[in-house]
Amino acid sequence: MAVILLAAFIAIPVIEIAAFIEIGSWIGLWPTIGVVIATAVAGSALLRLQGLAVLRRFRESMLRNELPVAEVFDGLCLLVAGAFLLTPGFFTDLVGFALMIPPFRLWVARGLLSGLAKRGHVVSAAASGGPDGWSGDSGGGDGAGPVIDGEFEEIERKSGARNRRPTS
């Protein structure tokens, strides 16, 4: 993980500098600066709108006594998107705007869940049903607790098995 972070801290500024040089050579200095400022302003406006929508869905989930898992993840994605959009650069703006798109966030969530499932023991609640493919409902919907779907087989003990109850 540390190697990935180190690579990101080195690669992202290099990508941004290269993008500034290339785009600046195509459209000039002041238009480049104008585009960077415009993306920051547009990103802030979109972030505010989507953030309020996520907050509204969070409240609705809580009122329905559902865990707002999708809403919390969407809020975290929007937080990261806002940080990327406020960071000057074209690559970070591209990543920030991508995180504003709900289907992209769903794709990221599925990728993270599958990656976590491959690395260790993960217990997952329902992951379908909401407007964007998520549902925070971890139970059967009736408040009786989680529903575990599976198969079972009853095994009868042999007559000579240990822990047999004495007959009276």
Tens of pLDDT along 80-100?
Answer: 998 898 888 899 999 999 999
pLDDT mean over 113-121: 78
State percent of the chain over pLDDT 90: 32
Q: Return the pLDDT at 138.
A: 44
Q: Return the pLDDT at 127.
A: 47
Q: Return the pLDDT at 137.
A: 46
Sign of CA dihedral 19, 44, 108, 131: negative
Question: Under the phi-then-psi rule, with left for phi > 0, alpha for psi from -120 to 50, and beta for the rest, what region is 113?
Answer: alpha
Three-state DSSP class for residue 8: helix
CA distance 140 to 137: 8
Q: Give the DSSP H or E segment for 44.
A: helix 29-63
pLDDT surpassing 50 at residue 128 = no
Residue spans per domain, the chain = 2-117
Asked if 103 contacts 86 with a C-beta cutoff of 8 angstroms, the reply is no
Q: Return the pLDDT at 161.
A: 53
pLDDT band at 134 (very low <50, low <70, confident <90, very high): very low
Q: Return the pLDDT at 163.
A: 53
The DSSP code sequence of 113-131 is HHHHHHHS---------ST
CA distance 126 to 111: 16
Higher-confidence position of 150 and 141? 150
CA distance 102 to 77: 10
Distance from CA of residue 66 to its chain's centroid? 18
Q: Return the pLDDT at 125.
A: 55
Based on C-alpha coordinates, what's the Rg of the chain?
25
Average pLDDT taken over every residue of the chain:
80
Task: For residue 64, give Cα distances in angstroms to 37, 67, 69, 146.
Answer: 41, 9, 13, 16
pLDDT surpassing 70 at residue 123 = no
Q: Return the pLDDT at 43.
A: 87
pLDDT surpassing 60 at residue 118 = yes
